[in-house]
Amino acid sequence: MSRRGAECPTFGRTSRRRFLKGAVALGVAARGLAQVPQSHADSAHHPIFAYVGTYSLPQGPDASVGRGEGIYLFEMNPATGALAQRELFRRDTNPSCLTIDSSCKHLYSVNWISNFQGTNSGSVSAYTIGRASGHLTLLNTVSSEGANATHLSIHPSGRFLLVANYFGGTVAVLPIRANGELGPATDVVHDQGTVGREHAMSAPPGSFAISGHDKPHAHMIQSDPAGRFILAADLALDRIFVWKFDAERGKLVPNDPASVALPSGDGPRHFAFHPKGHWFYSLQEEGSTVAAFDYDSTNGRLTAKQTLSSLPIGFAGTNFPSEVMISSDGKFLYAANRVHDSIAWFSISATGTLAYGGEEWTRGDHPRTFNFDPTGNFFYVCNQLADAITTFRVDRGTGALTFTGQYTPVGSPASIIFLA
């Protein structure tokens, strides 16, 4: 993903909230217009579909109280970036994080719950995708092997799904069967280590950001581009774990070294590999930092090289970064800031170091995730507490984001992914 934007408006947070309420109201009023079908009769290509995962339980820990109703299907207008709702797949299981396989035939969703089939575990669901319509059909649901599954990704082989369980403090490997269904886990690892400080070492002055330094909290898991190593961030242990991956048996084998440490209390949350595969970037939820590493793909080794704030120079106060992505051309890195409610972007040098470029207000509250559309021209922010997705146009030369004026009402949006 990419992050691009201009300087945030200078008016205060209270003014932003007043503006937001009015703007979202206008977005709701215009919803019927936004849903007018777009014609693709003159195109030989499939429509561009977007799936939005939400928090859909009326009660839940922290900010997970949901006003969504499941997984939403939208069609995107590639000329304007507008999203028109096509269908809703009702799920009361907090389907908050989604991914699609490389064949574009199957979608997978975590379910942010802790009571799957009476156990202290979350779950993961598999769906088939009707390519012409985008319709989802549930295949099966299996245990995620830990409470509150929060992130999932597919191994490059296409044979395994990787899942991180936040409250369970575990990561699991689930086999993907030939028909797209999920099988029982082939491996489960419980994160081990010492929890970090309650207050981050790198936090901005005046920060009261406290987020889960009580027990292990696995927050993200993903393979490296080659599929040889699996990496996972544990927020509470302030570590990025690295395993060798046995792709025949679906097993995680500890690497040497088995992890890399971030400053105590900083809370690594999400990370991204550069398209070239030589660099790795980690975003810290409590420290409000982006850390750059050199990545040795032969040995699965991370070497720290730079740390920058995800916030503008001089910022003081509380902030909780959430998502980090890199543009497909590898030129820019983007990061979301919650409470500050902005998207910051950085240019990436020929050696992988970062330089702060700017930031743009999300026009919403609590930006949990964001994503680019398949063309790379538009940028979508899931504002979880504002019940809206906001759309920005991307300047491919500078990385800057420009708000299009489009608000798409969705209750508690948590993630957005595209199918083209």
What pLDDT shows up at residue 62?
52
First to last CA, the chain: 16
The answer to whether residue 12 scores a pLDDT higher than 70 is no
Domain boundary assignment for the chain: 13-35+49-419
> Sorting pLDDT into bands at 50, 70 and 90, what band is 61?
low
What pLDDT shows up at residue 280?
98
Q: How far is CA 270 from CA 164, 172, 217, 316, 317, in A?
A: 11, 17, 12, 23, 21
User: For all residues of the chain together, what is the average pLDDT?
Assistant: 90
Rounded CA-CA distance 79/75 in Å is 12
The answer to whether residue 40 scores a pLDDT higher than 50 is no
Question: In 3D, which of 70, 19, 118, 58 has the Cα closest to residue 414?
Answer: 70
Average of per-residue pLDDT across 177-191 = 98
Query: Pick the residue with more confidence: 320 or 30?
Result: 320
Average of per-residue pLDDT across 176-189 = 98
Rounded CA-CA distance 289/267 in Å is 10
Rounded CA-CA distance 383/275 in Å is 27
Beta bridge partners of 165: 149, 170
CATH homologous superfamily for 13-35+49-419? YVTN repeat-like/Quinoprotein amine dehydrogenase (2.130.10.10)
- Under DSSP, the state recorded for 176 is B
Helix (H, G, I), strand (E, B) or coil at 13: helix
CA 106 from chain centre, in angstroms, equals 19
CA-angle at 407, arms to 403 and 411, nearest 5°: 135
What pLDDT shows up at residue 34?
35
Helix (H, G, I), strand (E, B) or coil at 365: coil
Q: Where are the alpha helices (DSSP H) in 30-84?
A: 31-34
Element (H, E) at 15: helix 13-29
What are the tens digits of pLDDT across the range 307-338?
999 999 999 999 999 999 999 999 999 999 99
Percentage of the chain lying above the pLDDT 90 cut: 84
Task: Count Cβ atoms within 10 A of the Cβ of residue 414 and give its class: 0-12 exposed, 13-18 middle, 19 or more buried.
Answer: buried
For residue 257, say if its preceding peptide bond is cis, omega within 30 degrees of 0. Answer: yes
What are the tens digits of pLDDT across the range 44-54?
478 999 999 99
> Sorting pLDDT into bands at 50, 70 and 90, what band is 210?
confident
What type of residue sits at position 406? Q
Instruction: Evaluate whether 382 touches 362 at the Cβ level (below 8 Å).
Output: no
Beta bridge partners of 159: none
The answer to whether residue 351 scores a pLDDT higher than 80 is yes
What are the tens digits of pLDDT across the range 109-130?
999 999 999 999 999 999 999 9
Question: In 3D, which of 296, 171, 124 has the Cα closest to residue 226?
Answer: 296
In terms of pTM, does the model score above 0.85?
yes
What pLDDT shows up at residue 60?
57
The answer to whether residue 65 scores a pLDDT higher than 80 is no
